Amino acid sequence: MQFGKSNAKVYVESTTGITFNDVAGEDEAKELLTEIVDFLHNPGKYQEIGAVCPKGALLVGPPGTGKTLLAKAVAGEANVPFFSISGSEFVEMFVGMGASKVRDLFKQANEKAPCIVFIDEIDTIGKKRDSQGYSGNDEREQTLNQLLTEMDGFDASKGVVILAATNRPDSLDPALLRPGRFDRRIPVELPDLKGREEILRVHARKVKLSDDVDFNAIARAASGASGAELANMVNEAALRAVRDNRKFVTQADLEESIEVVIAGYQKKNKVLSTKEKLIVSYHEIGHALVAALQTNSAPVTKITIIPRTSGALGYTMQVDEEERNLMSKEEIENKIATLTGGRCAEELIFDSVTTGASNDIEQATKLARAMITRFGMSDRFGMVALETQVNPYLGGDSSLSCSPDTASTIDDMVVATVKEAYDRAMKLLSDNKGKLHELAKYLYEKETITGEEFMYILNKKEYLEEKS
C-alpha cells in the first residue's frame, strides 16, 4: 500500500483526444464550455482586459448524459492535461488521506497549468455539512474543507480550470456554489429527438450498417433514453448481428436492442408512452397558446416534452422581455389563464384530465389567493391585508389574519377567480382548435421547439387568411 504523494501520479492523464465532435447534441452545454476552452487557449486575452475567468464549472444532469465525456472534450479541445478523480475515491481513503489527496492534486495541477481538474461525482464529498451532530464522517468534511481552501487559494490566471459533475446538485454544500468556486452551472439534460439521432450516429460510426437502418425511427422510439443508453443500444445491436453471424447491423437489430435497453432502464428513467407523449404535447401547447393569444406576442422561448430530472414531463420556458417587478391585475389574470391552459387542452382534446396539471393548479391557486388577500385586487375587500407574508426570503409562507367567515369567503373567491380564468382559456383554445392540433402534432414530432417556430406556425399566412 502506498501513501500520499507516492501514488499521486494516478491523476495524470495525458490529453484525452476527445473533442466536442465526439459529443452529440448538448449544444447548450458545449456553447457554455467553449468560453472555458478559449480561456485555456489564451489566458492573456482575459488578463489584458482585467477579466477573471471562472475558476470552476459544475456539470449537472441525469446519469449517462455525457457529463464526463464533455469534461474530457473540453480538455481535448483545449489540448491541455486532464486530471481526473472521482468523489468516491476520496472517501475510501484512510483518515486524513482525502485532504492530502486534494492538496496533492492541486499541487500537481498548478505545476502542469494550463490544465483541467475534473472531479466526478462531487456530491460524494460535497454533501451539505450538518450543523448539528454529524454522523461521524469528518473525514469527508475535512476533504471538503481542503477542496474549498484549495479552490480559494489557487491563482485562476494561471489557467487551471476545475470542472465537476453531479446528478444531485441539490445535495451539494452551498459553500461549493459560492462565487469564485463552482459558480457556473452547466445543465446537461436528456437528449431530445434530434440529439438522440445524432448520438446514435456518433456511436454507429465504427459499426457496419445495412442499408435499411433508419436512425430517426430508432431515436423516435427511444424517447427518454440517455446518451449512455443510446450508445449501449448500438453496441447491443452489433452484438446481436455477430450472434446471428451477420456482417452488418440491421434495423431489426437496433429495434430489438431498444427493447433490451429499455427493459433495463424503464425503472430508472421516465419513458413516456406514445399516448402520454401526445397528452403532454397538447398540455404544453395549451399553456403556450393561451399565453400567446392573450398578449399577441411571443411569450415562450422554448417548449419541450423531454422528461426532466425535476419530474416534470414537459415544460414551457417563458421569459419576459425585460425584468418585471410590477404586475398589473390584468397580467396576473392572464397568467392564471395561462397556467390553466395545459389542463384545458387536455380536456378539450381528450375529454378527460390527468394528474399532469398538479403544479399548475398549485401555482394558479397561489396567485389567485394572493390577488385577494395580499395585493388588494378584489372589489369585495379592497386594500385590506388579509394575509401577511411571514418571511419573504424563506419560501414566502403567509399566515391568515382574518375571521373564519372571511376565510371561507376568500376560498369561494379564489375558486371563482380560477374558474373564470379557466373558462377564458378554454374559449381561446376552442376558438383556435386547429392551431392547437397543428402545434401539438409538431411538438410531438420534434419534442423540442423554439419560440420562433411556435410563432411561425401560429401566424402562418394561411392562418391569417383563415381568420379574416
What does the binding site for Mg ion look like in residue numbers (CB under 5 A)? 68
Determine if 342 is a binding residue for Zn ion (CB under 5 A): yes
Catalytic residue, candidates 121, 284, 333, 346: 284
- Shortest Cβ 65–Mg ion spacing (Å): 9
**Binding ligand ADP by CB under 6 A: which of 16, 68, 250, 417?**
68
Determine if 231 is a binding residue for ligand ADP (CB under 6 A): yes
Closer of 68 and 338 to Mg ion (Cβ) = 68
Q: What is the 3-state secondary structure (H, E, C) of the chain?
A: CCCHHHHHHHHEECCCCCCHHHCCCCHHHHHHHHHHHHHHHCHHHHHHHCCCCCCEEEEECCCCCCHHHHHHHHHHHHCCCEEEEEHHHHHCCCCCHHHHHHHHHHHHHHHHCCEEEEEECCHHHHECCCCCCCCCCHHHHHHHHHHHHHHHHCCHHHCEEEEEEECCHHHECHHHHCCCCCCEEEECCCCCHHHHHHHHHHHHCCCCECCCCCHHHHHHHCCCCCHHHHHHHHHHHHHHHHHCCCCCECHHHHHHHHHHHHHHHCCCCCCCCHHHHHHHHHHHHHHHHHHHHHHCCCCEEEEECCCCCCCCCCEEEECCCCCCCCCCHHHHHHHHHHHHHHHHHHHHHHCCCCHHHHHHHHHHHHHHHHHHHCCCCCCCCCCCCCEEECCCCCCCCEEECCCHHHHHHHHHHHHHHHHHHHHHHHHHHHHCHHHHHHHHHHHHHHCEEEHHHHHHHHHCHHHHHHHC
Closer of 227 and 342 to Mg ion (Cβ) = 227
**Choosing among Zn ion, Mg ion, ligand ADP, none, which partner's interface includes residue 360 (Cβ < 5 to 8 Å by kind)?**
Zn ion
Q: State the number of binding residues for ligand ADP (CB under 6 A).
A: 17
Closer of 205 and 243 to ligand ADP (Cβ) = 205
What cell was used for 146? 481542503
- Shortest Cβ 198–ligand ADP spacing (Å): 7
Pick out residues in 109-168 that bind ligand ADP (CB under 6 A). 165
What b/e sequence results for 129-148 when a residue is b if at least 16 CB atoms lie within 10 Å of its CB, and e otherwise? eeeeeeeeeebbbbbbbbbb
**Choosing among ligand ADP, Mg ion, Zn ion, none, which partner's interface includes residue 24 (Cβ < 5 to 8 Å by kind)?**
ligand ADP
Nearest residue to Mg ion, by Cβ distance, number only: 68
Closer of 27 and 431 to ligand ADP (Cβ) = 27
Closer of 226 and 338 to ligand ADP (Cβ) = 226
Among the candidate windows 66-74, 257-265, 309-317, 319-327, which touches ligand ADP by CB under 6 A?
Answer: 66-74
- Site pattern 294..313 for ligand ADP (x: CB under 6 A): --------------------
Among the candidate windows 226-234, 256-264, 275-283, 324-332, which touches ligand ADP by CB under 6 A?
Answer: 226-234
Among the candidate windows 17-25, 91-99, 287-295, 443-451, which touches ligand ADP by CB under 6 A?
Answer: 17-25
**Binding ligand ADP by CB under 6 A: which of 11, 24, 122, 219?**
24
- Site pattern 344..383 for Zn ion (x: CB under 5 A): ----------------x-----------------------
**Binding ligand ADP by CB under 6 A: which of 102, 116, 228, 249?**
228
Task: Reply yes or no on whether 284 is catalytic.
Answer: yes
Whole-number Å distance between alpha carbons of 451 and 287: 13
Nearest residue to ligand ADP, by Cβ distance, number only: 227
Nearest residue to Zn ion, by Cβ distance, number only: 342
Angle at 157 between CA 155 and CA 163, to 5 degrees: 75
**Binding ligand ADP by CB under 6 A: which of 55, 67, 240, 277?**
67
Give the count of alpha carbons within 13 A of 393, CB side only.
0
Closer of 72 and 283 to ligand ADP (Cβ) = 72
Closer of 115 and 313 to Zn ion (Cβ) = 313
Determine if 196 is a binding residue for ligand ADP (CB under 6 A): no
Q: Which residues bind Zn ion (CB under 5 A)?
A: 342, 360
Q: Which residues bind ligand ADP (CB under 6 A)?
A: 23-26, 63-69, 165, 199, 202, 227-228, 231
Q: Which residues are catalytic?
A: 284
